[in-house]
Structure 1
């Protein structure tokens, strides 16, 4: 965070290494106060419990009251359990910029839980940022430009191509199920001649937390914009596909382009105001997905962090 921001997630520690059983007992003992604690602290880190992969389901059941599938998720993941997924599978040498999970969608998870199965060899922290602070850090010109919202466009292939297939994205092979999912979301879509689908959605750039009322930066424009990929990657993609054929792209709600300098400011100030959560095997991090955005620092060696979400 900046010098004027001293917030960090609350660390809940134990020296007993009581595993999932101890964690579940602690959470259950708090009752409804646990949810209030999460909202007040924005993020909770559970250290030293030594939760094993075999006991992870029990721990997640306590932290996430209704685990959700990653349907309509745009990042590459592998499903490894009961609505448990690998964190974004992106080359280890790159930073994943700050974002609130599925802020591009009509509905998003209210909580995210991260579990460190394999501690990184170096680096690999999960940075988190107060999304209200992120919003306030942006120039007034940028905040005003985004006031009308953004338009996201996804081009999902039929099993072969850049990005994700529609089958992986919606966890189905049925076009009817895809349309039934998209129908209530306000999105528009068209099936393409090559078997893929183009989905377009207009969403707000900010939202308010249902309990605190805080207005927060809540969109993924910097991750969906070619400028967010870096100059070399963006230039390479531009030689392969026009922007409206990219796996994902974003404009302002009226279809006008978002300036690259806005994208750079959004990305850089989110990361500059973030607090790093370092990992040890068995640790868990629980965040309020509206109050906090998250990302990933580069790492060396092995790193395996799993993620689950709930409403």
Structure 2
């Protein structure tokens, strides 16, 4: 399939036809007529289902066809709360902050193919979920940045054993069993080290770009800007530097050979991803289905209560 070079890309919006029943019944009937969702997502990259008035109690029913094999958020690095069968709150960062663009778990050996977001409660202002075409994001970067990142990236996590800064390994892997964690990390081709204080250090080398398994499109696919201190802003990075050395931070990143990634690269990646993004403004009952390789996502600041749930599948 030829790469989509349309800079006017936006998620495809599906609304109920006149006479379509409200709620899950109407959406499930429509999904039966859509057929192959993999092909639909390969064409549109992201789809918003709007106006069906999905109630939270109906969420499991509509997830069944959209996410046939729902996954647990094992080895996830974002703070979330599990609220159902492999259903989680979206990242729980303070509302005044922007969450930069990223593909879910692009740092991991395996990542979800699809993500489904559900708006249970829309915020008073702001709070959009921006989405960006990963091929466009890649094209937006300077040639020097793309060339240097072609070496790949090395991610390092420091997970405490129950008390400390950041996430614990128990929370990250949803288990208290060291044997289960080690089995998972060996299968993920990650290096790991148990620390004397009960914590765990995990190191993984991953590519900076990948090609979509259906379209063959090359996309920007890493979280270097989120794992690098420069992505947090100068003041936050300086404050962290005063607390602990970089190698002891909850997460850090370098090029695959261990050489440092320039801060200017990190801010370019972060800012151009956000600049190229299209905002999905939430209405209660909305669903957003994304191809997690073709499309990256983030979050805009907001005011008032906001509750967006997320689930994922392979």
TM-score using structure 1 length: 0.97
1:5 — aligned with what? Answer: 7
Mapped partners of 1:73, 1:28: distance in 2: 32
How big is each residue's C-alpha offset from its partner over 1:244-263, in whole Å with a ceiling of 9 and x where there is no partner?
00000000000000000000
2:239 — aligned with what? Answer: 236
Q: Give matches, 1:89-168, under 5 Å.
A: 89-168=92-171
1:23 — aligned with what? Answer: 27
Mapped partners of 1:265, 1:291: distance in 2: 20
- Structure 1: tracts of 5 or more residues without a match: none
Mapped partners of 2:171, 2:262: distance in 1: 31
Aligned to 2:67, which of 64, 68, 79? 64
Mapped partners of 2:21, 2:255: distance in 1: 49
Alpha carbons of structure 1 residues 25 and 222: separation in structure 2 relative to 1, 3 Å: same
Moved more, 273-282 or 34-43: 34-43
- Structure 2: tracts of 5 or more residues without a match: 1-5
Q: Tell me if structure 2 keeps the 8 A contact 1:207–1:215.
A: yes
Q: Tell me if structure 2 keeps the 8 A contact 1:150–1:221.
A: yes
Aligned to 1:179, which of 179, 182, 185? 182
2:43 — aligned with what? Answer: 40
Mapped partners of 1:167, 1:76: distance in 2: 13
How big is each residue's C-alpha offset from its partner over 1:256-289, in whole Å with a ceiling of 9 and x where there is no partner?
0000000000000000000000000000000000
RMSD after superposition: 1.1
What is the CA distance between 1:17 and its match in structure 2?
A: 6.0
DSSP 3-state at the match of 1:39: helix
2:271 — aligned with what? Answer: 268
What is the CA distance between 1:24 and its match in structure 2?
A: 1.4
Mapped partners of 1:36, 1:26: distance in 2: 16
Aligned to 1:297, which of 296, 300, 313? 300
Mapped partners of 1:80, 1:267: distance in 2: 30
1:189 — aligned with what? Answer: 192
TM-score using structure 2 length: 0.96
Deviation >3 Å, runs of 4+: none
Aligned to 1:256, which of 255, 259, 271? 259
How big is each residue's C-alpha offset from its partner over 1:50-104, in whole Å with a ceiling of 9 and x where there is no partner?
1111000011112111000000000000000000000000000000000000000
Report how many residues are paired.
308
What is the CA distance between 1:30 and its match in structure 2?
A: 2.4
What is the CA distance between 1:35 and its match in structure 2?
A: 2.1
Aligned to 2:249, which of 246, 249, 269? 246
Mapped partners of 1:161, 1:25: distance in 2: 48
Mapped partners of 1:67, 1:17: distance in 2: 26
Aligned to 2:53, which of 44, 50, 54? 50
Q: Tell me if structure 2 keeps the 8 A contact 1:17–1:48.
A: no
